Amino acid sequence: MFNLFKKDKSPTDVTAQAELAAPPEAPALSWTERLKQSLTRTRSQLGNQLAGLFGGGRIDEDVYEELETILLTSDVGVSATQALLEDIRNRVKRQHLDDTSQLREALKQALLELLSPLQKPLDTTTHQPFVIMLVGVNGAGKTTTIGKLANFFQAQGKSVLIAAGDTFRAAAREQLQAWGERNQVHVVTNQSGDAAAVIYDAVNSARAKNIDIVLADTAGRLPTQLNLMEEIRKVQRVIGKAIPEAPHEILLVLDANTGQNAVTQVKAFDDALKVSGLVLSKLDGTAKGGVIAAIAQARPIPIRYIGVGESIDDLRPFNAEEFVEALFS
Ligand SMILES: Nc1nc2c(ncn2[C@@H]2O[C@H](COP(=O)(O)OP(=O)(O)OP(=O)(O)O)[C@@H](O)[C@H]2O)c(=O)[nH]1
Ligand SMILES: [Mg+2]
């Protein structure tokens, strides 16, 4: 037997332990498989109930009513649920559907039509440096998303600079620096405690060094904290003084676990800052992925990326068809 708790670890022991910890047969999953896996809880929340409903039988009012309940309990939200139901009713009429087993495809198509307008990949080639400011409530996943984005852009051959604009939280800078090291990307910090100044410096430095992309972190804040919302508007204005049209993208990061509250956040941050793109993080392990439909209905801001885990590779551009497929397969 191996003694895993031996005090005196040689490098060989460490390797042996790592091999023991990771099942050797676990193959690296493709993105599609990982997306599917990450949506497991949402899918079972939605899918298992739908399976019962779509099992066959006549389409009547009771079926619509049950479908409405299922959508509402899957965080799709009231108005997106109404919109989807209306769309499905029209499809049933138009295509002369009469059996509930045909509703599955109708719902899939209705959902795809609702989500497709959100699929607008971020084009960072319009400016250099292209400045992206990440905003959101505390713990939404902003800093982690920056780490993943740095990796994503570098994989496309782009140079990246990170600005440590979260000057509120004590460990924020260290957390970002760790991501910087992992990506071998420079992290601009300063001790002033002034987020606007840090990001301003980073943008100027990126311009001087011909860097392609600046990722600016900011402190988490609630839309109800009016002084902090005013502060982020100031950060936005100051960045615009370094480069007139910057920030070129204001990315609001949303934790998918927050369900309907994410819709409230989208509205509030958009009203304050004119958000140009969304990141839906933590889709893994949440049963509330249906909130994506609520967002599409309430404020159809492009979902630029989705996050499905804490690793550097757990982020991809949003693809509506891929998402709906993963939800229903
Ligand atoms: N499972 C999972 N966890 C995530 C994901 N994204 C972030 N996290 C975790 O969520 C927690 C908060 O993430 P951060 O990136 O620190 O969030 P933040 O918005 O920067 O937080 P503040 O700076 O405190 O406002 C961390 O423990 C992350 O590892 C994701 O896609 N999936
Ligand atoms: Mg952070």
Closest C-alpha to ligand 1, atom 10: 141
List, for residues 157-211, the tens digit of each pLDDT value. Answer: 999 999 999 998 878 999 999 999 999 999 999 888 899 999 999 999 999 999 9
CB of 139 within 6 A of ligand 1: the answer is yes
What is the C-alpha to C-alpha distance for residues 50 and 56, in angstroms, rounded to an integer? Answer: 11
Block residue for tokens 């292209």? 130
User: How many Å lie between the centroid of ligand 1 and the Cα of residue 145?
Assistant: 8
CB of 166 within 6 A of ligand 1: the answer is yes
Overall average pLDDT of the 267-292 stretch? 95
Q: Is the pLDDT assigned to residue 49 strictly greater than 80? A: yes
Determine the residue of 135, 303, 310, 315 to mutate for testing ligand 1's pocket, defined as the one with the most ligand atoms within 8 A of the Cβ atom: 310
Q: How far apart are the first and last CA of the chain?
A: 42
What is the C-alpha to C-alpha distance for residues 288 and 41, in angstroms, rounded to an integer? Answer: 8
List, for residues 241-271, the tens digit of each pLDDT value. Answer: 999 999 999 999 999 999 999 999 999 999 9
User: How many Å lie between the centroid of ligand 2 and the Cα of residue 17?
Assistant: 32
Q: At how many degrees (to 10) do helices 291-298 and 261-273 cross? A: 30
CB of 228 within 6 A of ligand 1: the answer is no
List, for residues 10-41, the tens digit of each pLDDT value. Answer: 444 444 444 444 444 556 788 999 999 999 99
Overall average pLDDT of the 284-293 stretch? 92
Q: Is the pLDDT assigned to residue 316 strictly greater than 90? A: yes
List, for residues 58-84, the tens digit of each pLDDT value. Answer: 999 999 999 999 999 999 999 999 999
Determine the residue of 137, 143, 173, 177 to mutate for testing ligand 1's pocket, defined as the one with the most ligand atoms within 8 A of the Cβ atom: 143
Q: At how many degrees (to 10) do helices 103-115 and 78-94 cross? A: 130
CB of 258 within 6 A of ligand 1: the answer is no
Q: Is 279 helix (H, G, I), strand (E, B) or coil?
A: strand
